Amino acid sequence: MKMTLSLLAGTLALLASSALPTLAADQEISWIYCGDKIDPIHEKYIKEWEGKNAGFKVVPEVVGWAQCQDKATTLAAAGTPVAMAYVGSRTLKEFAQNDMIVPVPMTDEEKASYYPNIVDTVTFDDNQWGVPVAFSTKALYWNKDLFKAAGLDPETAPKTWAEEVAFAKQIKEKTGTAGYGLPAKTFDNTMHQFMHWVYTNNGKVIDGDKIVIDSPEVLAALQAYKDITPYSVEGATAYEQNEIRAIFLDGKVAMIQAGSGAAARLKETKINWGVAPLPLGPAAKGEGTLLITDSLAVFKGSGVEEKAIEFAKFITSPGPQGEYELQGGAGLTPLRPSAKVDEFVKADPSWKPFIDGIAFGGPEPLFTDYKGFQNVMIELVQAVVTGKAEPADALKKAAADLEQYK
């Protein structure tokens, strides 16, 4: 437990007046751990680290996904921060600018150990503000039987947006089944889903502190959204991505973009499916995807910041992190390349598209008010898919609205 100055003074006075030996209490590194329970692999490595760091004890507090980040924020704002918390990397800029967290700078060697662009998810002002601990990417899933029923080659996924729209149109017209699943509910992953299109056309939302969303690359992505909407699941604003995935698992939509978890569920169904890299826009330089990471943030004022940074880097280092990611059913895209990852992909080739998209992928844009940014992006998508605004007009409005949140 962290000792206050008055308690420390009292302890020293007691030691001075007594010949009896006194054992000092371990200093605690409190950790808000999101989820239902602590992963056994993390438990194992917590014990290993404690064994090498006498006088320090890592104390995880398991908090449900819906509350964990809010709890970390509330404690920090109240002046009673935890040492470390699991947070969405998207929030790091906001935490840092409110002086709630400390930098967790990486060496060049540490940066080079990750796949390309991942360190960007925790970086702004040329410094890192967290250590990535979980990573996800997306790929395109297609229903081979619906492709065949529509007269398409069931073994060939679309490689470009133009093909994707054309395939969706043909499937809808030939089979009466939705060709694509486009989620546009007022929900965070509506923004995420659109960002995958942005990054498969070499687009950006923000560059440093400059809003650059009103660009030909992003306009093309928004136009493609408009073009595919008539052949998508009806009533897009009623669905978020997991609800769209459920429709795909029921065989009622031909194509969706989803994470690796969909593959695990599909293996338990009778659907004849395939998975491929996300189709590319006309300005793409290579396979891309939105790179979403969660990170361990070290909070300011706990008194154990240096040891918390040391532990955060240890628990996410190649050995422990690789074991955590590659366990059966974890569903996490690996953060780093390795021989073990190569073996993993060879054993289960459905993972390859999720890794191939990293090279030209991009991070979640960092804003000082992330929810404000998210809401602008959701409004942008909804305006276009419902026909309330043309893509160019909606994009200009979004660019202006984002200025207040950068």
pLDDT of 226 higher than 60: yes
One domain, residues 163 and 42: no
In 43-147, the DSSP E strands lie at 56-63, 84-88, 123-124, 127-128, 131-136, 139-143
How far apart CA 233 and CA 179 sit, in angstroms, is 8
Whether 355 maps to a domain, the answer reads: no
Query: Is the residue at 333 inside a domain?
Result: yes
Task: Write down the pLDDT at residue 397.
Answer: 98
Paired with 273 in beta bridges are: 143
Lowest mean pLDDT among 2-6, 193-197, 297-301, 352-356: 2-6
User: Given this model, what pLDDT does residue 330 score?
Assistant: 60
Q: What is the pLDDT of residues 9-27, one digit of tens each?
A: 333 333 333 344 444 578 9
Give me the count of residues in the chain: 406
- Do 148 and 216 share a domain, yes or no? yes
Q: Which of 160, 148, 277 is nearest to 227 (CA)?
A: 160
Domain range for residue 112? 5-9+25-135+293-349
Q: Does position 231 have pLDDT exceeding 70, yes or no?
A: yes
Quick check: pTM over 0.95? no
Residue 389 covered by a domain: yes
**98 and 221 both lie in a single domain:** no
Are 164 and 255 in the same domain? yes
Q: Does position 221 have pLDDT exceeding 60, yes or no?
A: yes
306 pLDDT more than 60: yes
On whether both 30 and 110 belong to a single domain, the answer is yes
The per-residue pLDDT for range 168-177, each reduced to its tens digit, is: 999 999 999 9
pLDDT tens, residue by residue, 163-214: 999 999 999 999 999 999 999 999 999 999 999 999 999 999 999 889 999 9
Q: According to the model, what pLDDT value does residue 23 have?
A: 46
Residue 178 lies in a domain: yes
Q: Are 251 and 143 in contact (CB under 8 A)?
A: yes
The CATH number that applies at residue 150 is: 3.40.190.10
Q: What is the pLDDT of residue 367?
A: 94
Smallest Cα–Cα separation from 223: which of 194, 183, 189? 194
